[in-house]
């Protein structure tokens, strides 16, 4: 599969599942929530990209926190390894078993618990699908501070556990800011109730942050409280073309200055990404067909005053045309057109999957240097692959993807470790928003000092001393076996 998954070995400390274990789980959950059915297990064992495949024989579907607690307490005492699973849309092989780990799916814990219209604070169970929360909030006149292409399947618990970034981070910040509280179950079954609904709370160490972005390696998130912004009256989406990367960069600077408080997304894609979407995604249409441009930028604004917001955006667009930062552009006239612009950006991952094999890198790089990596990679690989660059430019997050007809070790050796070394040398991060999962567990040192990683290992040892939670992921196995 072109990944490093072949390199880890099953840790012999973990027990093998037996009939008695299955009976115990049936006793807690009822037989219908203890799944051994082949069909369901095949999909739960396989990740979204079909790159990582486990061989788990058991999928558990708890409905309450207490059930999660009983499951983990038992697994810990039996030394049975566990993979917490949300919507299984993760892109780094974190959500599927590597070997025979028991899969604990949060899908059945999908209730909204409360919503306070005054504060905008939502409390819900971890298995709520992001899109369902978005619809619920829409009815209440609020929005989620988080939006991403996988919204139809991913769950809020998975979002929190990966610290997902997505399309609105430039405006609303990361989940470390909007998540106000978490309920999580530790490996030994202890339920940590940190489900606060306060904006300010400086009472000791803020432990919830350990669970945001720890990819199921420290506990299972069962409930979340999250601060949601009100839905504002005017949303505008513009799709723009730029002649070169330097123009995209200057456009971002201008957008931050001229659109300021109404800017809610600043996304980019290069012409290679655009061609890929147009060639592989049904319904995708280039709104700027007059010429082949090198870069495209999608800008969204969200504000409270329809006429002044539009005026502001139009003045910004006009100014940017005059300064030649934009070569061409179109402003969505209705919600359908806005969605068709978003499809071009959000549909890239799907288009890449359809195009064949894909090597995926999710990097934070200081914006000035961000696109140099794409160009260097193109030079390195020549005709051997289609190198595409897109991402959350407003956040300095590049998605570098290398598309080939099939996985090939020779191509992989041209990409890695070069891509990680380059990113590290430029003071970037080898995982901006997708996490480390299995794919990059042993690459953690490219972005963290050994002292930092050692503290992470100590935290892991404290919260999960038997290392039953999501083994082989996040931290190098050499430090956690
Ligand atoms: P899963 O994939 O099931 O799990 C992800 C990780 O979290 C695993 O390590 C798993 O063990 C752990 N986990 C899941 N639920 C829990 C829980 N309740 N408690 C503890 N651990 C848990 N990501 C971005 O950041 N930004 C994007 O813009 C973005 N766009 C995407 C677009 C597409 C089309 C796709 C397929 C993926 C995209 N992703 C993006 C990646 C992915 O959707 C996110 O990482 C998402 O947050 C994962 O949520 P999930 O419920 O699917 O979690
Ligand atoms: C995105 O921004 O489209 C996602 O993070 C998914 C991807 O990188 O393919
Ligand atoms: Zn992304």
State the closest ligand 1 atom to the C-alpha of 437, by its place in the atom list counted from 1.
9
Band (pLDDT 50/70/90 cuts) for residue 3 is very low
The predicted-structure confidence for 257-288, as pLDDT tens digits, reads as follows 999 999 999 999 999 999 999 999 999 999 99
Note whether 123 and 198 are same-domain residues: yes
Retrieve residue 1's tokens: 């599969």
Taking the C-alpha atoms of 22, 28, 33 and 35 in order, what is their torsion angle to the nearest 10 degrees?
-10
The predicted-structure confidence for 284-323, as pLDDT tens digits, reads as follows 999 999 899 999 999 999 999 999 999 999 999 999 999 9
Q: Is 282 left (phi over 0), alpha (psi -120 to 50) or beta?
A: beta
Would 311 be classed as within a structural domain?
yes
- Matching residue, tokens 């115990």: 24
Cα 205 to ligand 2 centre (Å): 32
Note whether 171 and 186 are same-domain residues: yes
Q: Specify the pLDDT at position 4.
A: 42
Which of 295, 315, 348 terminates a domain? The answer is: 348
Asked if residue 177 has pLDDT above 70, the reply is yes
Task: Tell whether ligand 1 has an atom less than 6 A from the beta carbon of residue 126.
Answer: yes
Would 194 be classed as within a structural domain?
yes
User: How many whole angstroms from its chain centre is CA 347?
Assistant: 15
Sheet with 34-35, strands from edge to edge, namely: 34-35, 59-60, 102-105, 82-85
Retrieve residue 293's tokens: 């441009």
Taking alpha carbons only, the member of 351, 355, 348, 356 closest to residue 406 is: 356
Note whether 238 and 343 are same-domain residues: yes
Note whether 30 and 10 are same-domain residues: yes
Instruction: Say how many domains are in the chain.
Output: 4
Note whether 374 and 442 are same-domain residues: yes
Query: CATH no. for residue 27?
Result: 3.30.43.10
Asked if residue 110 has pLDDT above 90, the reply is yes
Would 27 be classed as within a structural domain?
yes
What is the C-alpha separation between 390 and 430, in angstroms, rounded? 16
Note whether 102 and 131 are same-domain residues: no
Task: Tell whether ligand 2 has an atom less than 6 A from the beta carbon of residue 159.
Answer: no
Query: CATH no. for residue 339?
Result: 3.30.70.2190
Half-sphere exposure of 387 (CA within 13 A, CB side): 22
Average pLDDT in the chain: 97
Does pTM surpass 0.80?
A: yes
What is the C-alpha separation between 238 and 341, in angstroms, rounded? 8
Q: Specify the pLDDT at position 387.
A: 98
Task: Tell whether ligand 2 has an atom less than 6 A from the beta carbon of residue 69.
Answer: no
Q: Specify the pLDDT at position 395.
A: 98
Task: Tell whether ligand 1 has an atom less than 6 A from the beta carbon of residue 394.
Answer: no
Note whether 80 and 135 are same-domain residues: no
Would 149 be classed as within a structural domain?
yes
Band (pLDDT 50/70/90 cuts) for residue 38 is confident
Domain of 194?
A: 112-227
Taking alpha carbons only, the member of 422, 266, 438 closest to residue 345 is: 266
Would 61 be classed as within a structural domain?
yes
Note whether 417 and 330 are same-domain residues: no
Cα 476 to ligand 1 centre (Å): 20
C-beta neighbour count of 142 within 10 angstroms:
21
Asked if residue 100 has pLDDT above 70, the reply is yes
Which of 287, 316, 348 terminates a domain? The answer is: 348
The predicted-structure confidence for 195-206, as pLDDT tens digits, reads as follows 999 999 999 999
Note whether 338 and 441 are same-domain residues: no
Would 72 be classed as within a structural domain?
yes
Q: What angle do CA 268, 346, 138 make, to 5 degrees?
A: 115
Note whether 340 and 360 are same-domain residues: no
Task: Tell whether ligand 1 has an atom less than 6 A from the beta carbon of residue 182.
Answer: no
Retrieve residue 250's tokens: 């200057």
Would 452 be classed as within a structural domain?
no
Note whether 178 and 248 are same-domain residues: no
The DSSP code sequence of 96-125 is S-SSSPEEEE-TT---EEEEETTTTEEEEE
Q: Specify the pLDDT at position 6.
A: 66
The predicted-structure confidence for 372-384, as pLDDT tens digits, reads as follows 999 999 999 999 9
Which of 161, 196, 227 terminates a domain? The answer is: 227
The predicted-structure confidence for 336-391, as pLDDT tens digits, reads as follows 999 999 999 999 999 999 999 999 999 999 999 999 999 999 999 999 999 999 99
Query: CATH no. for residue 131?
Result: 3.30.465.10
Would 328 be classed as within a structural domain?
yes
Taking alpha carbons only, the member of 406, 448, 449, 12 closest to residue 213 is: 448
Note whether 328 and 424 are same-domain residues: no
């Amino acid at each position: 599969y072109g990944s490093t998954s072949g390199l880890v070995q099953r840790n012999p400390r973990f027990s093998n599942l037996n009939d008695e274990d299955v009976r115990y789980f049936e006793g807690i959950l009822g037989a219908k929530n203890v799944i051994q059915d082949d069909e369901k297990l095949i999909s739960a064992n396989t990740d979204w990209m079909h790159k990582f495949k486990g061989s788990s024989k058991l999928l558990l579907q708890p409905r309450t926190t207490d059930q999660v607690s009983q499951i983990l307490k038992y697994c810990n005492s039996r030394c049975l390894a566990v993979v917490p699973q949300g919507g299984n849309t993760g892109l780094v092989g974190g959500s599927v078993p590597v070997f025979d780990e028991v899969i604990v799916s949060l899908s059945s814990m999908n209730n909204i618990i409360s919503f306070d219209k005054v504060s905008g604070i939502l409390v819900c169970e971890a298995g709520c699908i992001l899109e369902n929360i978005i619809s619920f909030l829409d009815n209440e006149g609020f929005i989620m501070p988080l939006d991403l292409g996988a919204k139809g399947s991913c769950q809020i618990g998975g979002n929190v556990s990966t610290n997902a970034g997505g399309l609105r981070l430039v405006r609303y910040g990361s989940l470390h800011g909007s998540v106000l509280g978490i309920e999580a179950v530790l490996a030994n079954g202890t339920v940590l109730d940190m489900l606060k609904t306060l904006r300010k709370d400086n009472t000791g160490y803020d432990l919830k942050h350990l669970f945001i972005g720890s990819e199921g390696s420290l506990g299972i998130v069962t409930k979340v409280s999250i601060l949601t912004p009100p839905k504002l009256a005017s949303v505008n989406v513009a799709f723009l073309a730029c002649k070169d990367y330097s123009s995209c960069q200057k456009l971002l600077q201008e957008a931050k200055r001229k659109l300021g408080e109404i800017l809610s997304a600043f996304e980019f894609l290069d012409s290679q990404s655009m061609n890929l979407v147009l060639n592989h995604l049904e319904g995708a249409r280039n709104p700027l067909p007059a010429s082949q441009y090198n870069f495209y930028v999608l800008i969204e604004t969200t504000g409270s005053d329809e006429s002044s917001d539009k005026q502001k955006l139009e003045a910004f667009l006009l100014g940017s045309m005059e300064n030649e930062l934009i070569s061409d552009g179109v402003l969505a006239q209705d919600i359908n057109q806005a969605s068709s612009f978003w499809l071009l950006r959000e549909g890239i991952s799907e288009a890449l999957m359809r195009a064949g094999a894909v090597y995926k890198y999710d990097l934070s790089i200081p914006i000035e240097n961000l696109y140099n990596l794409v160009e260097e990679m193109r030079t390195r690989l020549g005709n051997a692959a289609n190198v595409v660059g897109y991402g959350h430019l407003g956040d300095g997050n590049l998605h570098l993807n290398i598309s080939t007809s099939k996985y090939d070790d020779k191509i992989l050796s041209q990409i890695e470790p070069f891509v990680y070394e380059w990113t590290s040398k430029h003071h970037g991060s080898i995982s901006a928003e997708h996490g480390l999962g299995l794919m990059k567990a042993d690459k953690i040192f490219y972005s963290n000092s050994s002292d930092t990683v050692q503290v992470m290992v100590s935290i892991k040892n404290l919260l999960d001393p038997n290392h039953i939670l999501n083994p082989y992921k996040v931290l190098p196995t050499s430090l956690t076996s």
